[in-house]
Amino acid sequence: MHEHEHGEQHFGAAAQAAEWDARYRERDGAMWSGRPNGRLGAEVAALTPGRALDVGCGEGADAIWLARRGWTVTAIDISEVAMYRAREASHPAGASVEWICGDALQTPFRTGSFDLVSMQYPALPKAAGEAAVRRLLDTVRPGGLLLAVYHDLDDEHREHMKSQGVDPADYVGADDLGRLLGDDFTVELYAVEPRIDPPPGTPHIADVVLRARRR
């Protein structure tokens, strides 16, 4: 089997969706805390609401939080299970969100259409290709913000993930995004920061935060 064929099988949208669905189904209840990510809150609370895209929205807590603060939110996740839970959570919260179940790297969002593109702990496979990532970055409108937040993984954690069959090197990281931003963006923050309001008991207590503004 050629390497790219293996990649397509393992990282194709259908395989990724099935993997994430299986992960979410391992639990009857929610996998995530149901609370919005602390870094998103800290970075966005003072902004004037506009149009937001939540990439890999999971069970929807960030999208719901944004919608309740007046943002017009599109939220996309590849997992049907996560998307079902997100929709369910949005009803009692009274939040109106455009939920899309699909691959963020293959969904044709309009260029320059979002004031905020938020990626909180995204898991986008590199196998999709840089052009697809670039198209996603291009959805930030001039003057708008990209906010990408990743776990700051040490070697031990990377090895642990590899032993579980997930190699972080196969996924688009903050450094990849930084490189792909090119001259269109001004990087305002690219640093390891303490995780804000981490869920109790999590080993992930530091974030790699990339905040960039489109020129």
Ligand X SMILES: C[S@@+](CC[C@H](N)C(=O)[O-])C[C@H]1O[C@@H](n2cnc3c(N)ncnc32)[C@H](O)[C@@H]1O
Closest CB 98 distance from ligand X, rounded Å = 14
How many Cα atoms are found within 13 Å in the side-chain-facing hemisphere of 186? Answer: 6
Look at residues 116, 82, 73 and name the one whose alpha carbon lies nearest to residue 101. Answer: 82
Per CB under 6 A, 104 contacts ligand X: yes
Closest CB 49 distance from ligand X, rounded Å = 19
Give how far Cα 76 sits from Cα of 82, 109, 186, 201, 205, Å: 10, 11, 25, 27, 25
Among 64, 116, 124, 133, binds ligand X (CB under 6 A): 124
Binding mask 37-66 for ligand X (x = CB under 6 A): x------------------xxx--------
Q: CA torsion 145→147→148→154, rounded to 10°?
A: 130
Closest CB 29 distance from ligand X, rounded Å = 14
Rounded to 10°, the helix 3-11/13-25 angle is 40
Using the rule CB under 6 A, give the single segment among 101-109, 158-166, 173-181, 197-205 that binds ligand X: 101-109
Tell me the residue type at 76.
I
Binding mask 63-92 for ligand X (x = CB under 6 A): -------------xxxx--x----------
Q: Residues binding ligand X: what is the number (CB under 6 A)?
A: 20
